[in-house]
C-alpha cells in the first residue's frame, strides 16, 4: 500500500484493437487499453471523440466491430448477450451522471436491487445495502426516495449501489457532471475512499481536469484513437 492506494498488481482489463462504427462514423479506430487491478483511470477527450463508446465497449454494453476485451480473465467480447449481462451484474458496477436510481424505491431498496437480482436473499440484501449507505455517509437517507435527496446524496446512493455487489471494476460516466464543484468533490472523494480501500478498479469518463486529477492516470481519446502521449509514443 502506497499513498493510500491499494496495489494488488496485475492486469484487470486488456482491450486490444477496438473498432466501432455507427453508420458512416468511425467512433473507435483501433484502441488498445490496459488497466491495472486497483487502478483509477480517467478517460478524457472532447465531445464526440469516442470516449463513451470506448467505455461502453469495454464494459460490454456495446459489442465492438473488431477487437477483444478481457476483464479479470474473462473474454467479454466472446460472450453471448445473456452471458454478458450476467457478467456485468456480477463483476461490473456502473455510475452515470444522473437518472440512474429508480424513483419509486427508497435508498435501501435501490442499493439492494442488484444484490437481489444476483440471487442474494432479501434480508441479507437489505442489510448489506444499509451498510453500504452508512459507509458513504447516508445514515439519515435510508428511507428517502431519490426525489427527496440532493443531487450529491443521490449520486452517493448510486455509488453505494455500484459497490454493493463488490464488482471487480466500476465504470463511471461523468459521475459528478451534474453537481457543483464542492458537492462533486465530496461525492468523488467518498467514492474513491471506498474503492481504494477495497482495491476496486475504476474507469472514469470525465471532461473535468480537476476530476481527472484524482485518478492515477489519464488517457485522452481524440477522433476515435488514444492520443500519442496517452499511448506513450512521445515524451
Partner 1 sequence: MDKTPTLLGLMAEGHEHGYDLKHRYDQLFGAERPIAFGQIYSTIARMIRDGYIEAMGEEPGGGPDRKRYAVTAAGRDYVRRWLSSPDEPSPTLQSNLFAKTVLALLLDDDADALLDVQRHAHLARMRDLTQAKQRGSMLERLAIDHALFQIEADLRWIDVAGARLAELREEVRHG
Say whether residue 229 binds partner 1 (CB under 8 A).
yes
| Cα 85 to Cα 107: distance, rounded to the nearest angstrom | 24
Say whether residue 7 binds partner 1 (CB under 8 A).
no
Say whether residue 227 binds partner 1 (CB under 8 A).
yes
Q: How far is the CB of 234 from partner 1 (least distance, A)?
A: 5
DSSP reduced 3-state for 173: strand
* Among residues 62, 92, 212, 221, the one that binds partner 1 under rule CB under 8 A: 212
Q: Name the grid cell of 27.
A: 467512433
Say whether residue 174 binds partner 1 (CB under 8 A).
no
The residue (of 46 and 137) whose beta carbon lies closer to partner 1 is 46
Say whether residue 46 binds partner 1 (CB under 8 A).
yes
Q: How far is the CB of 49 from partner 1 (least distance, A)?
A: 11
Cite the DSSP H helix spans in the chain. Answer: 51-58, 81-91, 107-117, 122-135, 151-164, 181-198, 209-212, 228-231
Please list every residue from 191 through 210 that binds partner 1, using CB under 8 A.
209-210
| Cα 125 to Cα 120: distance, rounded to the nearest angstrom | 6
| Cα 216 to Cα 119: distance, rounded to the nearest angstrom | 34
Q: Name the grid cell of 37.
A: 487491478
Say whether residue 2 binds partner 1 (CB under 8 A).
no
Binding residues for partner 1 (CB under 8 A): 3, 46, 189, 209-210, 212-216, 218, 220, 227-230, 234-235
Amino acid at each position: 500500500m502506497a499513498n493510500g492506494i491499494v496495489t494488488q498488481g496485475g492486469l484487470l482489463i486488456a482491450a486490444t484493437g477496438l473498432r466501432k462504427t455507427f453508420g458512416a462514423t468511425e467512433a473507435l479506430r483501433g484502441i488498445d487499453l490496459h488497466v491495472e487491478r486497483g487502478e483509477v483511470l480517467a478517460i478524457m477527450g472532447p465531445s464526440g471523440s469516442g470516449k463513451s463508446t470506448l467505455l461502453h465497449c469495454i464494459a460490454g454494453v456495446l459489442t465492438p466491430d473488431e477487437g477483444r476485451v478481457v476483464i479479470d480473465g474473462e473474454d467479454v467480447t466472446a460472450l453471448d448477450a445473456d452471458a454478458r449481462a450476467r457478467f456485468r451484474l456480477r463483476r461490473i458496477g456502473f455510475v452515470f451522471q444522473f437518472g440512474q436510481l429508480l424513483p419509486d424505491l427508497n435508498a435501501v431498496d435501490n442499493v439492494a436491487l442488484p444484490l437481489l437480482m444476483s440471487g442474494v436473499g432479501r434480508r441479507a440484501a437489505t442489510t448489506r445495502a444499509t451498510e453500504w449507505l452508512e459507509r458513504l455517509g447516508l445514515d439519515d437517507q435510508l428511507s428517502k426516495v431519490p426525489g427527496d435527496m440532493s443531487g450529491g446524496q443521490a449520486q452517493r446512493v448510486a455509488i453505494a449501489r455500484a459497490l454493493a455487489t463488490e464488482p471487480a471494476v466500476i465504470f463511471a460516466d461523468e459521475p459528478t457532471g451534474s453537481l457543483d464543484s464542492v458537492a462533486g468533490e465530496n461525492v468523488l472523494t467518498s467514492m474513491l475512499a471506498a474503492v481504494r480501500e477495497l482495491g476496486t478498479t475504476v474507469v472514469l469518463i470525465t471532461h473535468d481536469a480537476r476530476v481527472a486529477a484524482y485518478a492515477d492516470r489519464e488517457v485522452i481519446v481524440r477522433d476515435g484513437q488514444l492520443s500519442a502521449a496517452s499511448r506513450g509514443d512521445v515524451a
